[in-house]
Structure 1
Amino acid sequence: MSNYRIQKGDTLSALAARFKTSVSALARTNNISNPNLIFAGKSLRIPGKGDSFEPSKGSGGTKGSGGTGGSKGGGQVQGSGGAGPGNATPAMRKLADAGRAAAMGMGGYNSQGLCATGVSRAIQNAYGVKVWGNGNQIDNNLPRDKFKQVNMSLEEALKTPGLVLTWEKTSSRLGSIYGHTAITTGDGRSSVSDFIERNTLGAGGRSGLKVFMPTV
């Protein structure tokens, strides 16, 4: 049995994948009644491990500004998969460009409440694939032969162009129902959907972040 100190943005599902255990085992070992709600700073006991873990920089669970939410749909969360500011693939840059174009063609710098439409339009323009669903559904509908879920913090993801971000919930009324989705531009701050959000890091009240990298 080992201990891990929960970091801001960690999710139980991502930690389970990282430590090669299951969400149910972590929840049972730590008496967690709601697997979608864990708290930064708390110590998490990892079943079957002999050493204590402190999070290494740039690793840990799938992170969001709210730090809650599970991984639904996307299968096993992988490491960063080679994604990073200095090694974005042509496919990732293509999606980032398509995302900017879609955002400017829809809301510019003002949200239209159609984030999934903007992201879906960008993916279709970049790869010829139509993806359905709202902000917290689109992650389940991303074609797995073209996208893989990766284990990155929001800060890391925003430095890398062409990643798809999804949040299960945001602080707005509609966002609490439909979530939010966007594509990273790679400038470390902004993301695009139906509009250009200048400061995604500063957008509070979001939870359940997942990050997907194009593999086409």
Structure 2
Amino acid sequence: MANYRINPRERRTTPKDYVIQRGDTLTKLAARFGTTVDKLARDNNIKNRDLIFTGASLKVGYSGKDTFEPSGSRQGIRGGGRPTGGQDVGGPTGVGPSSASSGMQRLAESARRAAMGMGGYNSQGLCATGVSRAIRDAYGIGVSGNGNQIDNNLPRDKFKQVNMTLEEALKIPGLVLTWESTSTRLGSIYGHTAITMGDGHTTASDFIERNTTNNGRSGFKVFMPIE
């Protein structure tokens, strides 16, 4: 089926493919096409209504059988459920569902360098040190604290907390993850923090963790750099 940029006056017509544009949100699109956010999300199998992707195909129709089809090197937009427009979230070019901002890519690369310069693929118990080094290298910002303190010390004019699952976050590079507690002795006291690489499973702190999960960890939070 061909893609169309639908005129705002085209409402309640036969199903069409709409190419999502920068600044689109589900709220805006629902109003534009005479439907609801719930209907668009359900018909397109969108689990996170605050995350749609520039360049993706959004099926607009009333069959209830449509699918949402994000793919590599597209730019995510957070704010799909809000009335005031989206904000770029990003993801890794050719790896995840969207294209990260240059700052987020820079932070991911800084985190990888910091990790390889510290523990490589073996934890040194210095996760906050690795994350702090990466942030300083990428943004010139000094952030102190251990794994479960660094979230409170991230400057809010540079980072903001976002509501996202670990699975979603791991697909986007340059996000700061924090856990209040982990199952290790030190982790139960100091928590854990790391930066996403954007490949869907890897994070970096004082070492490269190739299979990042929530197993044995609690108090999960995600912070996104503000460009």
Both structures adopt the same fold (TM-score exceeding 0.5): yes
CA drift of 1:57 comes to: 1.1
| CA distances 1:16-56 after superposition (whole Å, capped 9, x unpaired) | xxxxxxxxxxxxxxxxxxxxxxxxxxxxxxxxxxxxxx9x6
Aligned partner of 2:179: which letter?
A: W
Does residue 82 of the first structure (1) align with residue 84 of the second (2)? no
| Residue in 1 that maps onto 2:215 | 204
| Residue in 2 that maps onto 1:183 | 195
In structure 2, C-alpha distance between the alignment counterparts of 1:82 and 1:151, rounded to whole Å: 14
CA drift of 1:82 comes to: 2.9
| Residue in 1 that maps onto 2:24 | none
CA drift of 1:79 comes to: 5.4
Contact 1:59–1:151 (CA<8 Å) still a contact in 2?
Answer: no
Contact 2:90–2:172 (CA<8 Å) still a contact in 1?
Answer: yes
Give 1 or 2 for the bigger CA radius of gyration. Answer: 2
| CA distances 1:111-133 after superposition (whole Å, capped 9, x unpaired) | 00000000000000001111000
- 2:174 is paired with a residue whose SS is coil
In structure 1, C-alpha distance between the alignment counterparts of 2:88 and 2:162, rounded to whole Å: 9
- 2:160 is paired with a residue whose SS is strand
Matches within 5 A, 1:33-48: none
Structure 2 residue corresponding to 1:125, chosen from 137, 141, 155: 137
| CA distances 1:84-133 after superposition (whole Å, capped 9, x unpaired) | 43131111000000000000000000000000000000000001111000
Does residue 213 of the first structure (1) align with residue 224 of the second (2)? yes
Q: TM-score, normalised by structure 2?
A: 0.60
| Residue in 2 that maps onto 1:136 | 148
| Residue in 2 that maps onto 1:57 | 47
How many residues align structurally?
146
In structure 2, C-alpha distance between the alignment counterparts of 1:122 and 1:152, rounded to whole Å: 22
Does residue 149 of the first structure (1) align with residue 161 of the second (2)? yes
- 2:88 is paired with a residue whose SS is coil
In structure 1, C-alpha distance between the alignment counterparts of 2:79 and 2:217, rounded to whole Å: 22
Aligned partner of 1:111: which letter?
A: S
Q: TM-score, normalised by structure 1?
A: 0.63
Q: Runs of at least 4 residues of structure 1 off by over 4 A? A: 78-81
Aligned partner of 1:132: which letter?
A: S
Contact 1:58–1:153 (CA<8 Å) still a contact in 2?
Answer: no
Gaps of 5+ in 1: 1-53, 61-77
Higher RCO (C-alpha 8 Å, min separation 6): 1
Does residue 112 of the first structure (1) align with residue 124 of the second (2)? yes
| More strand per residue | 2
